[in-house]
Structure 1
């Protein structure tokens, strides 16, 4: 209930850059695009590990779980980071990156981000992470990228099933970037449970440590998702052109996978 009220408060208090994903939670999901990047389109490129580069038709770019490699292209406008491991964050990101968004809390209150860059909105929803024999409260962030009606969620280093309050804060997701390592974050069955509840039209696996874990994940999702494992490290999407059926798009990382 508390997280639902937080989500409602964030929406009411939000500036002109109100979240379309929260407003439209539960609404019919919109549809894969094919042509060159244009206004309204987003290109997602898999750099490696949990780092993906998100580029918009307006020329803006953000990199998730930034560890120092922003991929090819201009300096990104924003990077998001989680501190579970060194491969998910950088202690001192380059100063030329305007927005360097940490996903963990360093005080009593959860870290909150609501950043508008032209038509790209970046916000976060905090979750807990394991820390030794216990848990670190609000130690991870699910970062959500909204552009022209398209809602993209990067689950970060998600260690537990989200609560109803978390789902209320997240809102609708059209695309999910999901860790499928099978143990460092969540078990394969638990990750499948999360994704089948979110019901995004496109799921992009990341944080992959073995073909075995990936195959288990794909097998568990095959009853409701089409599997697209064509070679390629990127995908271009638009809110006005999404698949009529849910798809798992397995991308090839541009860099060699990191070890945890």
Structure 2
């Protein structure tokens, strides 16, 4: 009888696991595709096939657009500028108020919070063209300086053969299990403020271990912390500053040498006609 109950209890869990699309980031964690270059683009234009457009909107907020018309926004605070955009999915973290909103537009189909009261957030959203999943990490508590377990999530967007990671408000180096859960990240957005999230030496160690082809700095408040980060990465990464908030990228167009791509954050405000 006990064996029968145990098997019965396992069936729903197995069914959920079987329904999930497997992560190609984890499956190809040891792969290192040969890559050539990165394109700049304007986020109003259609996205080319097998390509992703990344727009640095502000602070830790990026707009990820696909050839099929999907729009995802990271660390969403409720707006992206003057454009009338309803994303298909938004992700949020709650280290503080510049990384989330308590009142996301109810028209947004998928709102993924990177934390969960009483446990760890567990997201595995399959949109067909894009898979969005998370790896929980801890944050420093806002109350008393302790640790809030699983208060942050690293969100991974698997699309167009790319694995794109957003580290969120990372407060500690991932452990071995978290690194394994992330898998191979081709592109990673990383906070380089130097201390409000993760200190610069530790963040550089994380990024050099991830060995992503493109690193996009975010959450920087001036050239001092940014330049310190860039100087520390220069031994293993090229540094490119395209003077743009947009890039288009594909698995075939990633740089041959790992590159730090410094985008300029900019809200989109279309001209008034």
Shift of 1:116: 1.1
Q: Please tell me whether residue 29 in structure 1 is matched to residue 33 in structure 2.
A: yes
Corresponding position of 1:93: 104
Corresponding position of 2:263: 251
Aligned mate of 1:46, from 50, 53, 56: 56
Corresponding position of 2:133: 123
Q: Could you tell me the TM-score, scaled by structure 2's length?
A: 0.86
CA deviations on 1:27-80 (whole Å, 9 max, x unpaired) are 113533438621211000011000000001111010000001235463110000
Aligned partners of 1:16 and 1:84: how far apart in 2? 29
Aligned mate of 1:15, from 10, 19, 37: 19
Q: Could you tell me the TM-score, scaled by structure 1's length?
A: 0.90
Corresponding position of 2:65: 55
CA deviations on 1:81-100 (whole Å, 9 max, x unpaired) are 00111110000200110000
Shift of 1:226: 0.7
Structure 2, gaps ≥5 residues long? 1-12, 269-273
Q: Secondary structure at the match of 1:165?
A: helix
CA contact 1:30–1:174 (8 Å) conserved in 2: no
Runs of 4 or more above 6 Å deviation: none
RMSD: 1.9
CA contact 1:37–1:43 (8 Å) conserved in 2: yes
Shift of 1:241: 2.1
CA contact 1:77–1:97 (8 Å) conserved in 2: yes
Structure 1, gaps ≥5 residues long? 1-8
CA contact 1:29–1:200 (8 Å) conserved in 2: no
